Amino acid sequence: MSIKLFTNELSAVYDAPLRQMLISNFEIIRDAFDEVLGNQAALKQQQNTIKQVQTTIKSDIKVQDENMQQLVNILSDYDIPIQIIDGKVTRTEEGE
């Protein structure tokens, strides 16, 4: 983003055109600063949304893992040779 400010046109005499250029510079700076602050607020809101989604996903994964373990336990109770190895449900041979 390139912002054009009046910098090389400053004279030693304080006249009306110089005053207008300085006022214009401050208005440009103020507008750019307001835009930066607005973007910062939007980014913070997006970060909060992402954190909430991450928390929800982690919770869902935990519930899914617990459900999978309960399923394996139920199947094991019925003598079905199954277990979880490295996060995957696998069949096992009798006696493992």
Q: Is 73 exposed, middle or buried (0-12, 13-18, 19+ CB in 10 A)?
A: exposed
Q: Are 66 and 84 in contact (CB under 8 A)?
A: no
User: Domain coordinates of the chain in residue numbers?
Assistant: 16-91
pLDDT in tens, 47-84: 999 999 999 999 999 998 888 888 878 877 777 777 77
pLDDT band with cut points at 50, 70 and 90 for residue 12: low
Percentage of the chain lying above the pLDDT 70 cut: 75
End-to-end CA distance of the chain: 66
Mean pLDDT of 21-41: 88
Q: Which helix (H) or strand (E) holds 89?
A: strand 88-91
